[in-house]
Amino acid sequence: MKLVDTALPEVKLVEPKVIGDCRGFFLESWNAREFAEAGLEVGFVQDNHSRSAKGVLRGLHYQVTQVQGKLIRVVAGRVFDVVVDLRRSSPGFGQWVGVELSAQNMRMLWCPPGFAHGFLVLEDGTDVLYKCTDYYAPEHERTLLWNDDDVGIEWPLAEIGGPVLSAKDAQGARLCGAEVFP
């Protein structure tokens, strides 16, 4: 797998080596040694799977303790996947990176601890899988408002219309009032 830099240095786009043959394809979806060679010592403890319809927007989520790093991929459909740097001392504080992840492009995104994560679903029947470096802890979970002007995420809503949100996500905190990392 190849780890490609993004506009935020700690956020990596992961391009697996896809080996096709007459039966279909094979890829390694996780390889600890190759992450370590890129300077990322990562240990995962929980794998998640969600299915969503077109227009659903989940996020932007993070945990303030039991802070999670996440490796995200899509095995059916397509999403616009976004991470936001929430480390106040970082030069990238409040900045975001968005990439399309799909079953077709097979790319993954590494969302490091200290970042919020969310995605907009671009096709019906989209399945998102992600690995997490710490366990789910709802009492420590926070939601950053998906459309906070101070973050200014350019969601590709033109082809979708208004997003479908959970009640929790519709009431996310603006960056100026959010609990963030040092």
Ligand X SMILES: Cc1cn([C@H]2C[C@H](O)[C@@H](COP(=O)(O)OP(=O)(O)O[C@H]3O[C@@H](C)C(=O)[C@@H](O)[C@H]3O)O2)c(=O)[nH]c1=O
Check: CB of residue 47 under 8 Å from CB of residue 130.
Answer: yes
Q: Is 135 among the residues known to form the active site?
A: no
Report if residue 104 touches ligand X, rule: CB under 6 A: no
Site for ligand X in 70-89 (CB under 6 A): 70
Window of 5-13, 112-120, 151-159, 172-180 that interacts with ligand X by CB under 6 A: 112-120
Q: Is 62 among the residues known to form the active site?
A: no
Residue owning tokens 């999670």:
68
Q: Which of 150, 134, 84, 144 is nearest to 114 (CA)?
A: 84
Strands 57-63 and 96-102: unpaired
Report if residue 31 touches ligand X, rule: CB under 6 A: no
Q: What is the DSSP letter of 175?
A: G
- Shortest separation between residue 20's beta carbon and ligand X, angstroms: 30
Report if residue 137 touches ligand X, rule: CB under 6 A: no
State phi, psi for 100 to the nearest 5 degrees. -85, 125
Window of 17-25, 36-44, 100-108, 113-121 that interacts with ligand X by CB under 6 A: 113-121
Task: Count other Cβ atoms within 10 Å, centred on residue 10.
Answer: 20
Residue owning tokens 């009640």:
167
Q: Which is nearer to ligand X, 31 or 46 (CB)?
A: 46
Which of these is catalytic: 49, 61, 62, 135? 61
* Residues lying near ligand X in the complex (CB under 6 A): 48, 50, 58-59, 61, 70, 117-119, 136, 166
